[in-house]
Amino acid sequence: MNSPNLGKKCKVSLLFDHLKTDELAQHLTYLEFRSFQAITPQDLRGYVLQGSVRGCPALEASVGLSNSVSRWVQVMVLSRPGPAHRAQVLDKFIHVAQSLHQLQNFNTLMAVTGGLCHSAISRLKDSHAHLSPDSTKALLELTKLLASHNNYACYRRTWAGCTGFRLPVLGVHLKDLVSLQEAQPDRLPDGRLQLSKLNSLYLRLQELAALQQQQPPCSASEDLLHLLTLSLDLFYTEDEIYELSYAREPRCPKSMPPPPFRGLLVVEWAPGVTPRPDRVTLERHVEQLVESVFKNYDPEGRGTISQEDFERLSGNFPFACCGLHPPPRPESGSFCREELTEYLLRATVICSKLDLAFLHTFQEVTFRKPAFCHSCSGFLWGVTKHGYRCQDCGLCCHKNCRDQVKAECKKRPGAKSDAGPLETPIPPTPAPPASCGSEDNLSYTLSLEPETRCYLRPPWTQTEPPHPS
């Protein structure tokens, strides 16, 4: 039995594809303002004196939020298999950026626009070819607004004319504080204080403090905040993003004009500041989201949601990029609260690169002698009873159980060559050669079941080494 239809009986839709762009922009603005409000004068002073966000927790969290939003935009685009679907996500985020501009939330606008203009995204020419001229023009205008040319002159002119609720590009204004601090000494040659310098610093700090006293222009749904919070918890490295980009659209000599938006943005003005949440934080965020899911998708209190809803909800996250898929169910099957919690927690732990010793390097095998699944204790035997065995620790499980294995991988000496007579690896299925611009070939290659599954470095990333261009 399906849970209530997503668009009809749910109090709040928790699907990315169903969220309106202005609604998404409002909730991103709420998160941004909450983070901005937490910055203290001590954080600002620490940054001005040392030129780094290290040791300034609230400021580091604010920078991490911006960098996480930028990464999230990139991975959400790259998580779609076809160029037309990627173009739909690009178009959605362009409209989100326009809404952020209307809300005068320039900090998140910088993060979203920076994610859209990142070289791993801008190189996707097949995807950009599906964008409408209006969307391409809108992105170009936003890029010009935030371009670093002439010390962000266009942004500064726009900011000077803003009234009402507004959030600045924090990196630009903090770098102004650093420039003021370093431009003049604190004291004059005769030992007196440099009052002009102190006054300039005071005026800029006063402006930031006044902005923290604003009232946000819109309310927020806690359920959607839980969804966004968990989405932004996921951690991806620059190399992983480029690997996925090249897997989606391999290099080819096809002559297509370069995208017109290549602005120099201050997306990561504190590079590398993307804090990974600890496991306790992830568990709390997962529990909050699961509570929101059952509140909105199980209003009758049955304690389950359908497999369709489960799959569509998990589609909010690019878990498939790490080889994680919702476990199948028989027809009309359902998922309980504990199963959703377990799946989300395991998937977020893997995608956030926590507890890497936990992960197994599974290889598909045929068991010639009786064996038992470590997860469900089910039987593994017979020519057609394919299962998986970890190459490092020897743990065995069913194909459908490999995402639910809770035991850590404890590597044993000589495990790689210690296959023994119990099982025989399944020969790999040869992938067809990818032709330039052929999404059909690419989709087929990516959908193959690889002979070796290592969650740390998924097989589809083994295309080309990432060389940013």
Residue 458 pLDDT class (50, 70, 90 cuts): very low
Token pair listed for 253 = 């000599």
> Are domains 1-354 and 356-461 of this chain identical in fold?
no
308: pLDDT strictly greater than 60: yes
Q: What kind of architecture, by CATH, is found in domain 1-354?
A: Orthogonal Bundle (1.10)
Which comes out higher in pLDDT, residue 191 or 178? 178
Whole-structure pTM value? 0.65
84: tokens are: 């037309």
Contacts of 148 (CB under 8 A, 6+ apart): 263, 264, 265, 266
* Domain with residues 356-461, CATH architecture: 2-Layer Sandwich (3.30)
Among 14-18, 80-84, 196-200, 282-286, the range with the most confident prediction by mean pLDDT is 80-84
| CA separation for the pair 72, 318 (Å, rounded) | 9
Residue 188: phi and psi, rounded to 5, are -75, 165
> Residue ranges of the domains in the chain?
1-354, 356-461
| Position with higher pLDDT, 212 vs 188 | 212
DSSP string, 348-384: HHHHTT--GGG--EEEEEEESS-EE-TTT--EE-STT
d(CA 192, CA 214): 36
- Taking Cα atoms as reference points, which of 408, 417, 337 lies closest to residue 374? 408
Rg over alpha carbons for the chain, rounded to the nearest Å, is 25
- Give the separation between CA 454 and CA 440, rounded to whole angstroms: 25
Asked if residue 268 has pLDDT above 60, the reply is no
Q: Taking a C-beta distance cutoff of 8 angstroms, is the pair 364, 396 a contact?
A: no
State the angle between helix axes of 83-102 and 57-78 in degrees (0 to 180), rounded to the nearest 10: 140
